[in-house]
Amino acid sequence: MTSTSFEATSTVLADCAVIKLRGDIDGGAREALAAVYDDSGPTGPLRLDFEEVAYINSTGIALIVELLSRARADQRPVAGAGLSEHYREIFQITRLTDFMTILAQRPAPADRQIEHE
C-alpha cells in the first residue's frame, strides 16, 4: 500500500501567494512541498489552502513545520485555509496555530490572480 499522490501548486496574488495542496500530506509530500515553497516567490504572505487535503499524519505535520520554519526565516507570515474540523483541532493541539493564522474561508477567487501558477 502506497500513499496517494500529493500535489502542490502556488499562485501569486496581489496580497499573498496561495499554495494549493491536494492529496495526503505524509512522507511522500516532502519534495513537492519544498518545491512549491520555492515557487511561491521570495517574499510576501503565504496562504496554505488545505481544502483538498483529506489526510495529514505526523510526518506531514513535520513537513508543515519545515515549511513554516522557512517562511519565518524569510519573514513571511503564513495563514492556513480550508482545514477540516479535525485538522483544525490537531493544529491547535500541536500549537501550530501559534505560528500560522487559521482562516475559516477558502482562499481568494481566481479572478484576483495576477501571475501564472
Per rule CB under 8 A, is residue 102 in the interface with other proteins?
no
- Cell 517574499 belongs to 43
By beta-carbon proximity to other proteins, the closer residue of 57 and 113 is 57
Sheet harboring 6-12: ordered strands across?
Answer: 6-12, 17-25, 46-56, 78-81, 101-103
Residues 16-55 that bind other proteins (CB under 8 A): 24, 26-28, 55
Give me the residues that bind other proteins (CB under 8 A), please.
1-3, 24, 26-28, 55, 57-59, 61-63, 65-66, 68-69, 72, 84-86, 89-90, 93-96, 98-99
